[in-house]
Chain A
Amino acid sequence: MSAPLMQVRLRADYGGRCVLKDVRFDLCAGEALGMVGTSGAGKTTLVMALLGLLPWRGGNASGEVLIDGINLLTMPAREARRIRGKRIALVPQSPMTALNAAVSLRSHFDEAWRAHESTGRKALDARLHQLMHDVQLPTNDDSFLRRKPGQISVGQAQRVLIAMALLHRPSILVADEPTSALDLVTQAEIIGLLRQLNRRNGTALLYISHDLVSVLQLCDRLAVLDCGAIAECSQVAQIEQARHPATLSLLHALPLPVRVLLDHFSPHLNGSEQAQLPEQVVPLHS
């Protein structure tokens, strides 16, 4: 694996209440790293801190988030804005509230485009056409993009947000429980989509979830977040050798023995290029 794309050493607190004590991990180019933790382990805090957005939530982050060797947390606000959305992008937890209900999807894309690009509408239209196709949203005309967030389904909203995150071809995609608001079928489709992005485009993925099954399905490596620190970090294929109580309790909570699941998802673990939806989705659509 190549040199780390992002190196993280983080502490975070909300007005004295420490949530992340010492979180250290690296993310390599093209890899998919799963970050698992129970509710309240500090997952969302970690996401906000990573992007330097914790102050907007009333929190404080210190330490470093090195991207290309530059610390995102200490750089001037203007420079940090140039990195967010361009080099590192976020797919949020609740798609409906992450879109502004008062304006159209098109306006969301317009502004996100202008934040990093000075080229005009034509370039955006070409990019949008490609993106909408990639995330399996209607591309035939402009009518879908003219809608407001209230007029689309949650699954579509999550696809819109993934498309928005991919707009500037970031090298790092942070997905904060992107499936937690979705039904099982849509969950599987979104996971398939993220896997495709990671495998085909080589976008490094930091996938944060409480759902170990989806992590086994999607990721190369897995880190367990417990009590504000990384308890254990291992290759997904070697997860059975995990020792830490937090990891073990996650494994015990699985509906099937982890070996069965790993074997089931094995085509992916063997490293074959699998750019399609998970098998279990197909019958539901035919």
Chain B
Amino acid sequence: MKNRFSAAVLVLMIASAALALRLAPYNYASQDRDAAMAPSTARHVTGTDELGRDRTVRVAAALLIGLAGAAAAAAITTTIAAGIGVLAAFSPPWATAILMFVSDAFLSLPWLFLLMMARSLLPLTASPLETAVATFLVLAAFGWPACARAVYRGATALRSAEWMIQGHACGLQPRQLIRLHLVPHLRPLLLPQFLICVPVFIVAEANLGALGLGVGEPMPSWGAMLLELDNSALLARSHWVFLPIVLLVVVLLILESFTAEVENHA
């Protein structure tokens, strides 16, 4: 029930964001030089930023980019984790040891530093879209090890399950064993992992963006929009400057509630 309500709110937010982008006479990059740092007006309902860009449009775009990017990154991370975890569980001991060492090594890396490094290796001439893709790919690449451990543990238990042995005794091929015996049992493990990753990646992107290492300007992102909050001149003029952070918190709350729901059912 609660879950359905959360889902409805999220769908509503996505739909209105898409609608706002479609109906607004500006795109996220167009600057209204006469109305920089405007408060709420008839032309700009939620005001503008310091370059005169419409806040409604930018928040709507940030919402969609953030969600889509984080969901894609979470999907990639979960897939990598599932692959590595299952491979490790079904490999000979030496291969398992190598795979798990690699994932442990990944876990013990100073990942924030590496994220910054990986992100700053991008050339300055990279287009905003490229920076967005790169940011989320980097997040995906660093997100999998913890999840891979969980998958490995789950798959190891499944490996010696009686029905698995029975499957071998029936002469099932490895891909059949995966389809019939592994996937149905790993799904309840992978779905929460995916759902946990989405808000984590949204926050990670926002943090990177606030460091200036997220999605590149002029493309809007949570991180870039939160940066406005240290502009005291802007803060004094309009409360609408808090809109991005309020929406971010609402989105995160909704995503967390999904995770809680799935975990209760698992």
A-B contact pairs, 28 of them (CB 8 A): A51-B168, A51-B169, A53-B165, A56-B159, A56-B164, A81-B171, A82-B171, A84-B168, A84-B171, A90-B166, A92-B166, A92-B169, A97-B162, A98-B162, A98-B165, A99-B163, A100-B161, A100-B163, A100-B167, A102-B184, A103-B180, A103-B184, A111-B176, A111-B179, A115-B170, A115-B171, A115-B176, A161-B166
- Whether the pair B162, A94 counts as a contact (CB closer than 8 A) is yes
Report how far A58 CA is from B167 CA in the complex, Å. Answer: 17
Given contacts A51-B169, A164-B170, contact A57 B160 (CB under 8 A): yes
In the complex, chain B residues whose CB is within 8 Å of the CB of A103: 180, 184
Report how far A86 CA is from B171 CA in the complex, Å. Answer: 8
8 pairs of A and B residues whose beta carbons are closest in the complex: A85-B171, A102-B184, A97-B162, A90-B169, A84-B171, A85-B170, A100-B163, A98-B166
In the complex, chain B residues whose CB is within 8 Å of the CB of A85: 169-172
Report how far A90 CA is from B168 CA in the complex, Å. Answer: 10
**A112: interface (CB < 8 Å):** yes
**A83: interface (CB < 8 Å):** yes
CB neighbors of A among B125-166 (8 A): 159-166
| Total contacting residues, chain A, CB less than 8 A | 33
- Whether the pair B171, A111 counts as a contact (CB closer than 8 A) is no
CB distance from B133 to the nearest CB of A (A): 36
In the complex, chain B residues whose CB is within 8 Å of the CB of A114: 176
Residue from the list B160, B166, B173, B179 in contact with A99, Cβ < 8 A: B166
Please report A residues at the B interface, Cβ cutoff 8 Å.
48, 51, 53, 56-58, 81-86, 89-90, 92, 94, 97-103, 107-108, 111-112, 114-116, 161, 164-165
Report how far A115 CA is from B174 CA in the complex, Å. Answer: 10
In the complex, chain B residues whose CB is within 8 Å of the CB of A58: 160
In the complex, chain B residues whose CB is within 8 Å of the CB of A89: 169-170
Interface centre among B160, B164, B180 (most CB of A within 10 A): B180
Q: Which residue of B lies closest to A57 (CB)?
A: B160
Q: Which residue of B lies closest to A93 (CB)?
A: B162
CB distance from A175 to the nearest CB of B (A): 12
- Whether the pair A116, B165 counts as a contact (CB closer than 8 A) is no
Report how far A108 CA is from B160 CA in the complex, Å. Answer: 18
CB distance from B159 to the nearest CB of A (A): 7
Interface centre among B165, B168, B169, B181 (most CB of A within 10 A): B169
- Whether the pair A100, B159 counts as a contact (CB closer than 8 A) is no
- Whether the pair A92, B162 counts as a contact (CB closer than 8 A) is yes
**B237: interface (CB < 8 Å):** no
- Whether the pair A100, B181 counts as a contact (CB closer than 8 A) is yes
